[in-house]
Amino acid sequence: MPAAVFVNIYDISIETGLLLQIIYYLILYSLSVMIVSHFISKTLKLEKGESAALKNSISLMNSGNYGLPVSQLIFSHNPVGVSIQIFIVIFQNLLTYSYGIYNLLSATKTIGSIIQSFLRLPVFHALILGVLFQSFTIQIPNSIFLPLNQLANSFVAIALILLGAQLSNIKLNFFHRVITWALIGRLLMGPLLALAMIYLLNIDGIVAQSLFIASSFPTSRNTATIAMEYQIEPELHAQIVLFSTLFSIITVTVVIYLSYILF
């Protein structure tokens, strides 16, 4: 993951004005889904581990190995749409390894311990280096960048293998209330909140289409990966990833269709 974060930040190419608009939208959208997930968690009176699973499953979406191929297919003749999705991948990675890990560790650790754990993460160091290299246009020799790029590309395959191994050993529970509400929050409420933010900020065209479609993607497989690493409800996280990915076949198709009508 550190290599993937560094390479994505280093390679991104978006105009400053558009980038600021996207950042503003992503902050508002992320805050709105966090608030909604927190409200649902409190209403259901969940235990800390289940609450973390619900919040992460609604707030963190699979923008990488799911979202990027979809965007590349839809916006094959417009690189702006793909560039926006790449930035969303970066933003979601940051959210996963900050907010996502905070949700998990808050069930067992103090805030001070959580901050120390975050600052020790290689992903955090990769983020800082990526921003510095991008900001100062520092050229990386091909002999270094090519292996980094290959390592970044291999992360998705490794993560999926680990997730598959995890799913093979779990007992599926179709009627767990956390799974049900996680699917409702991520696949239904997520796009509705995105649509509200897009209209509120008066965003249109390709940018609106890209942001709206991105909001419909299923729960990030990273939620299951970090849950397995910290042993906080790993089976529940993995089941949510599985079911949200399956049901997203329907919801993502509907959102793509609506994006062409609305924008």
pLDDT at 152: 73
Let me know: does 208 contact 198? Beta carbons within 8 Å: yes
Model pLDDT for residues 37-52, shown as the tens digit of each residue: 999 999 999 998 999 9
CA dist., res. 134 & res. 146, Å (int): 17
Q: Which CATH code for domain 2-262?
A: 1.20.1530.20
Model pLDDT for residues 88-129, shown as the tens digit of each residue: 888 888 888 888 888 888 766 666 766 776 677 776 787 788
pTM over the 0.85 mark: no
Both structure tokens of 121: 């993460």
Query: How many CA atoms, within 13 angstroms, populate the side-chain half-sphere of residue 16?
Result: 1
